[in-house]
Amino acid sequence: MPDSVRVSVVQDTPPSVPDFTQWPSFPFEGDLRVKQLDDPVPVEPPRKGEGLRECTACAAPDDAYIWVSERWRVRAMDRPTGLPMVLILESRSHLDLGDLPNLLAAELGVMTVRLERAIRSLDGVARVHVNRWGDGSAHLHMWFLARPHGRLQLRGTFLPLWDSILPPISEAQWRENLALVAAWLAEFGGRPLAEPPRIQWQAPSSLTESPPATSERSDDEPVSVIEAAEEIPEPATGSDAATASDAATTDAAAADEHAGARQGVAAAAPTNDDEGAPPAQTLGAAAASGIGKSHSTDK
């Protein structure tokens, strides 16, 4: 007869802090500890645009974007952040990444390269990081983050965190960058909606006069990538099971709608594939005369 085995309960030990906290790019220092991991939930809460939840991207007018076309739109944050440029590429149709028909999937690659080149053409930009998370919104949105030239500490994974930490760039520079990117994209079609900053012709009454103080941002207004509503997952609640049931019913009906959307998109003409950088004189003319003006049709 085998001997009895004594089992002792071992208390959970918190995991050790990972090595990346020692990287130069990690934005924090000092004593750190790992949070306790929550238990998994049986039903995940719906994202924005899923089930009965309204899609903020579908409800947004074209005026909220810096550039729009028949099937794609590009928008910025509501004010400057710590990075030279942060932009979001969205499909006009309410589709997620895995729902894209072949034509839109191919165009996504073209638009990704085109927008990356436009942002990288800005002064002081070394690299452009492209990210897609999608835990907060079911509407496809791709993030484009510009890393400042020479800021080697901002390289890599933690660039979105640094965007919240660094002081924001000037609004004049931010608006000029938006107008340049919109003009670049318009060289291949679509409508640029971003306007360059207006020249302040009025001189101060005194050379020693201090500039007006900028207004403080409120805590409930998202400004950076990390704080954006599109990337903040909703907490699980007791009503998630009922919501998930409604979402399942809605998804069944949406499947037919997506199939119809694919057929409609397949009949559309593809976008331009000539992805060379637009000539400097052409871009300058667009920035001088076409930026911020509304056109009745796409180019």
**Once rounded to an integer, what is the mean pLDDT over residues 176-191?**
96
Q: Please state which of the ranges 41-50, 69-78, 156-165, 257-266 shows the lowest mean pLDDT.
A: 257-266
Spatial distance between the Cα atoms of 50 and 67, rounded to a whole number of angstroms: 26
Spatial distance between the Cα atoms of 84 and 170, rounded to a whole number of angstroms: 9
Q: Name the more confident of 177 and 212.
A: 177
201-214 pLDDT, tens digit each: 665 555 555 555 44
Number of domains composing the chain: 1
User: Residue 76's domain is classified under what CATH number?
Assistant: 3.30.428.10
In a domain, 179, yes or no: yes
Is residue 139's pLDDT more than 70?
Answer: yes
In a domain, 2, yes or no: no
**Once rounded to an integer, what is the mean pLDDT over residues 60-83?**
96
98: left (phi over 0), alpha (psi -120 to 50) or beta: alpha
In a domain, 135, yes or no: yes
The CB-side HSE value for 6 (13 A sphere, CA atoms) comes to 1
pLDDT reported for residue 232:
64
The rounded percent of the chain whose pLDDT value lies above 90 is 48
Q: What length does the chain have?
A: 299
pLDDT reported for residue 299:
37
pLDDT reported for residue 30:
86
**Once rounded to an integer, what is the mean pLDDT over residues 184-199?**
90
In a domain, 32, yes or no: no
Question: Given the structure tokens 């004189």, which residue do they identify?
Answer: 281
In a domain, 227, yes or no: yes
Record the tokens describing residue 224, joined without a space: 């950076």
Q: Name the more confident of 173 and 274.
A: 173
Is residue 223's pLDDT more than 80?
Answer: no
**pLDDT-derived band at 178, boundaries 50, 70, 90:** very high
272: containing domain = 56-195+221-233+241-290
**Once rounded to an integer, what is the mean pLDDT over residues 171-185?**
96
Dihedral over alpha carbons 119, 123, 124, 130 (to 10 degrees): 0
Q: Please state which of the ranges 67-81, 82-96, 139-153, 274-288 shows the lowest mean pLDDT.
A: 274-288
pLDDT reported for residue 2:
53
Is residue 215's pLDDT more than 70?
Answer: no
- Give, in degrees to the nearest 5, the angle at Cα 71 between 67 and 77: 35
What is the pLDDT of the chain when averaged over all its residues? Answer: 76
**pLDDT-derived band at 276, boundaries 50, 70, 90:** very low
Dihedral over alpha carbons 262, 296, 171, 284 (to 10 degrees): 100
Spatial distance between the Cα atoms of 297 and 179, rounded to a whole number of angstroms: 19
* Closest of 169, 161, 172 to residue 131, by C-alpha: 161
Is residue 272's pLDDT more than 50?
Answer: no
Spatial distance between the Cα atoms of 99 and 82, rounded to a whole number of angstroms: 33
